[in-house]
Amino acid sequence: MDLYEYQARELFKSHGIAVPDATVADHPREARRAAELLGGRVVVKAQVKTGGRGKSGGVKLAADPAAAEITARQILGMDIKGHTVHRVMIAQPVDIQDEFYVSYVLDRAAGAFLAIASAEGGMDIEGVAATRPEAVARIPVDPAEGVTEDKAAEIAAAAGLPPEAADVLCRLWQVLVREDALLVEVNPLVRTAGGTILALDGKVTLDDNAAFRQARWGEAPDAPAPAAPAPDTSAPDTPAAVAGPPPSESLEAAARARGLNYVKLDGEVGIIGNGAGLVMSTLDVVAGRGARPANFLDIGGGASAQVMADGLDVILSDPDVSAVLVNVFGGITACDAVAEGIVQALETVHLTKPLVVRLDGNNAARGRAILDARAHPLVEQVTTMDGAAARAAQLATR
Ligand code: GDP
Ligand code: MN
């Protein structure tokens, strides 16, 4: 789960990392009020779970509270790389002298963490990494040893960061470990004209598998859906803000609430299968047939009709899906139960996209007969996995 910048900022602050004073606002007038409280001049920052906000016009300086209101009105509702801005952060401006980059990421291949740091942080870090990789230090961190003071000094020296940055490197490691994060990134970490080191932006990805032992995450990290701003006649060109988190996140939450394993991908074929192995190979076969999976959902073993209905509901709610492939090999899960689930789902879900079903294994004949009897015009059965994948790919990409 990715956090918003303002949530990352809170985590950093609770671990003793200096951050600018800030507050959030869901409405331009709240932004004005926040600016008044912060002393007038502020930075207005779009809160979306994507980078490059600065380059997209989602980070702007406002000279006074009235300007903060106008700027917030411009930024709220803005689309940044497919993410609608529902909330802004109003922050005290910082007089930047230097911008650095620091992060810790899990390096699965190396079985360790990686510290990545550069003295040339800021909005063009990707460019620096691409054109002058030597300007970006990459130092493995042994997970058992962690980032000690010596290690932090080593990372800072390798990246050309000032020695004062070492303290932040130690604390950032504590954020990673204590908060069960897979990624913590600060870009830019700045040195102010006065010599203070501050985390000006933060990106944190928490490890969902650790949710059980992170009670304080609760439901909080995903911001509650703010109400759409009231119509404001003084700003006729304000884009209408859509309430709620981006659809993929709310779908993942909905699936989790129903005990389903749902993963969002970026293609166009929705995939439902039973068992991780079968689902993984279904993704490959669909890709082999020239389409890309939009998501996948593992309904597991022993899936009931209700689980199937819930699963279809989730998959069909993904706007990227243009065809769905249900690939079930009946073992513990009997195919007739899966077919019943599909029929039940068709009662509640308004099917607008083609559904290709492949049932094999336990009670396959009975399952196929149930679907044949339902005779829904958008439901097709194909008996082989490869044939079903080919048909779903064809329907999705036509
Ligand atoms: P990102 O573009 O999504 O990574 O958003 P950032 O929070 O990193 O902001 C982008 C850029 O805006 C930073 O690299 C800074 O150069 C600039 N910026 C952000 N906050 C301040 C501030 O308080 N003062 C100044 N001078 N620049 C800022
Ligand atoms: Mn940034």
Residue with CA closest to ligand 1 atom 6: 201
Ligand with minimal distance to 100 CA: 1
pLDDT of residue 378: 96
What is the band of 247 on the pLDDT scale with cuts at 50, 70, 90? low
Q: What is the pLDDT of residues 21-31, one digit of tens each?
A: 999 999 999 99
pLDDT of residue 349: 82
Instruction: Assess whether the region 21-94 and the region 248-397 belong to the same CATH fold.
Output: no
* Fold adopted by 21-94: Dna Ligase; domain 1 (3.30.1490)
What is the band of 331 on the pLDDT scale with cuts at 50, 70, 90? confident
Ligand 2 centre distance from Cα of residue 61 (Å): 15
Q: Which atom of ligand 1 is nearest to the CA of 187?
A: 8
In percent, how much of the chain has pLDDT > 70? 91
Ligand 1 centre distance from Cα of residue 317 (Å): 35
pLDDT of residue 242: 37
Per-residue pLDDT averaged across 104-125, rounded? 93
pLDDT of residue 217: 67
Instruction: Report CA torsion sign: 105, 106, 108, 114.
Output: positive
pLDDT of residue 248: 62
Q: Which range is least confidently modeled, 143-152, 164-173, 222-231, 334-343?
A: 222-231
Q: What is the pLDDT of residues 354-393, one digit of tens each?
A: 999 999 999 999 999 999 999 999 999 999 999 999 999 9
Beta strands in 54-134 (DSSP E): 59-62, 79-80, 83-84, 88-91, 96-107, 112-118
pLDDT of residue 308: 80
Does 179 qualify as catalytic in the annotation?
no
Q: What is the pLDDT of residues 53-94, one digit of tens each?
A: 999 999 999 999 999 999 999 999 999 998 999 999 999 999
- Find out whether 44 and 57 touch, Cβ atoms under 8 Å: no
pLDDT of residue 218: 60
pLDDT of residue 303: 62
Query: What is the spatial distance between Cα 49 and Cα 43, in angstroms, rounded to a whole number?
Result: 18
Burial class of residue 167 in the structure, from the number of CB atoms within 10 Å of its CB (0-12 exposed, 13-18 middle, 19+ buried): middle
- Find out whether 92 and 121 touch, Cβ atoms under 8 Å: no
pLDDT of residue 235: 37
Instruction: Report CA torsion sign: 96, 68, 7, 37.
Output: positive
Is the domain covering 248-397 a CATH 3.40.80.10 domain? no
- Pocket of ligand 1 contains residue 30 by CB under 6 Å: no
Average pLDDT along the chain:
89
Per-residue pLDDT averaged across 40-61, rounded? 96
Which CATH code for domain 96-213? 3.30.470.20
Q: How far apart are the first and last CA of the chain?
A: 33
Per-residue pLDDT averaged across 167-191, rounded? 97
Does 99 qualify as catalytic in the annotation?
no
Burial class of residue 86 in the structure, from the number of CB atoms within 10 Å of its CB (0-12 exposed, 13-18 middle, 19+ buried): buried
For residues 238 and 156, which has the higher predicted lDDT (pLDDT)? 156
Query: What is the spatial distance between Cα 141 and Cα 147, in angstroms, rounded to a whole number?
Result: 7
pLDDT of residue 197: 97
Helix ranges (H only) for the chain are 5-14, 28-37, 65-75, 125-131, 149-159, 165-178, 247-257, 276-288, 305-316, 335-348, 364-374, 385-397
- Find out whether 356 and 395 touch, Cβ atoms under 8 Å: yes
Query: What is the spatial distance between Cα 348 and Cα 235, in angstroms, rounded to a whole number?
Result: 41
Question: Any idea where the domains of the chain sit in the sequence?
Answer: 21-94, 96-213, 248-397
- Pocket of ligand 1 contains residue 40 by CB under 6 Å: no
